[in-house]
Amino acid sequence: MATIAFFAPAAAGHVNPTLGLAAELVRRGHRVTYATTTAYAERVAGTGAEVVPVTSTWEGRGGDIRTPQMHGKELVRAMKLLLIETKAMLAQLSGVARPDLVVHDGTMCWWGRILAGRWQVPSVETWPNLVSNEHWSMAQKYTTVNPLSPGFLLMAARLSRFLQQQGAGGVEAFMRGDPAALRLVTLPRAFQYAGETFTDRYEFVGPLFAERGHQGGWEPSGDLPVMLVSLGTAYNDRPDLYRTVLRSAADRPWQVVLAVGGVDREALGAVPPNVQVYGHAPQLAVLRHARAFVTHAGMGGTMEGLHFEVPMVAIPQMAEQRANADRLAELGLGTVLPPGEVTAESLWEAVERVAGDEHVRERLTWMRREMTAAGGVPAAADAVERILG
């Protein structure tokens, strides 16, 4: 039995994709520890992993810490917030015993990367998003930043000094995750741009789903087709869009499940009888019954929609989501609406079009086969055990 330490940032899109893997490794007899915050402790404990409690600098500050976009000056601000979070996490995790292997989020969990190097143990990175190489990169089109801007240069210098202090090497190699033994990409290779160009160090295992008992179940209340509307957990402050849905849904032959995050429900107005409003909907349970999914196109929600073969209308809210949305449209799995141009007419036209499109249905069936072939949780656990040796 090996001891495997999991680390991920306090964000649903980075914790949820790891839960199935943690549960499977526990099932196989390994001791799994998982450093996480109170907000995610229950779902982590549900995998059988031992919760290592930590406190995030991103939580409990309300509007004081607006979620940054991932391009231009906002990307620099995101790096600053991540550096602050990394220092806080390292301080809290300094007394954690050395494991046999580290599994950590590759996109944002800098402290997992540093701890694996400090302990001199192998690491496996989980990437719940599109990955980049010399053939395709998010920076080519979606996350543009001026590398000569004073703000970026200052941030790069600060990060370089910090990494030197940690013995973590140069900035470029660190950001790429060069020391990792393997990168587990939690989407099928067929969804990745230029997927055939990625080497053996990238293993496309597809989504690693786990049961979400903490969300509860859900069943339709009648015979109407079901539409889920959700903009995820981070970039969901869109009361204008939610009002558009509510004002236009009453005359439509659909049962609508609307997730509004932390937006004040009272300020959204009257709720038609065919609409259910949640803060955070039991997404997997709803998608089992859905005929259409209006989504921000975060990768977690995108993979969940594809798993249940639900046609998608993407309304991306940030750079990475635009890349995902464009890929959905390119592969014939749904359509995209620019977030600033959504009207009741354009929204319902898009929903009814993709829901009734046989070509979209065929493409969804194809992608579901690709996801199954990727191997999912068993393939990911096999890869971790292979690195353990």
CA 331 to chain centroid, in Å, comes to: 20
- pLDDT digit string, tens, across residues 250-295: 989 999 999 988 788 888 889 999 999 998 899 999 999 999 999 9
Asked if residue 135 and residue 17 are part of one domain, the reply reads: yes
pLDDT band at 62 (very low <50, low <70, confident <90, very high): very low
* Domain shared by 283 and 221, yes or no: yes
> Looking at residue 150, what DSSP letter applies?
H
For 313, the 3-state DSSP assignment is: strand
Q: How many CA atoms lie within 13 A of 379 on its CB side?
A: 21
Rounded to 5°, the CA angle 270-276-282 comes to 145
Query: Residue 323, Cβ neighbours under 10 Å: how many?
Result: 22
Q: Look at residue 168 and tell me if it is in a domain.
A: yes
Whether 280 maps to a domain, the answer reads yes
Winning range, highest mean pLDDT, from 65-69, 114-118, 134-138, 197-201: 114-118
Of 43-47, 70-74, 170-174, 336-340, minimum mean pLDDT range: 70-74
pTM: 0.90
Structure tokens at 149: 């801007």
Average pLDDT in the 120-132 region?
96
Q: Residue type for 186, please?
A: T
Pairing of the two strands 202-204 and 101-105: unpaired
CATH of the domain at 352: 3.40.50.2000
| 172 and 295 fall within a common domain | no
180 and 220 in a single domain? The answer is: no
Mean pLDDT of 24-35: 98
Domain check: are 143 and 291 in the same one?
A: no
Judge if 244 and 349 occupy the same domain.
Answer: yes
Residues 87 and 228 in one domain: no
Q: Is residue 362 part of a domain?
A: yes
Q: Please determine, for residue 67, whether its predicted confidence score (pLDDT) is greater than 80.
A: no
Same domain for 141 and 256: no
Q: Are residues 168 and 118 located together in one domain of the fold?
A: yes
Whether 198 is covered by a domain: the verdict is no
Tally of structural domains, the chain: 2
Instruction: Check residues 369 and 215 and name the one with the higher pLDDT.
Output: 369
State whether 138 and 232 are in the same domain: no
Q: Both 262 and 147 in a single domain? A: no
Residue 118 lies in a domain: yes
Residues 115 and 20 in one domain: yes
User: Which residues span the domain enclosing 74?
Assistant: 3-185
Residue 86 has, within 13 A of its CA and on its CB side, a CA count of 22
- Which residue, 162, 185, 208, sits at the end of a domain? 185
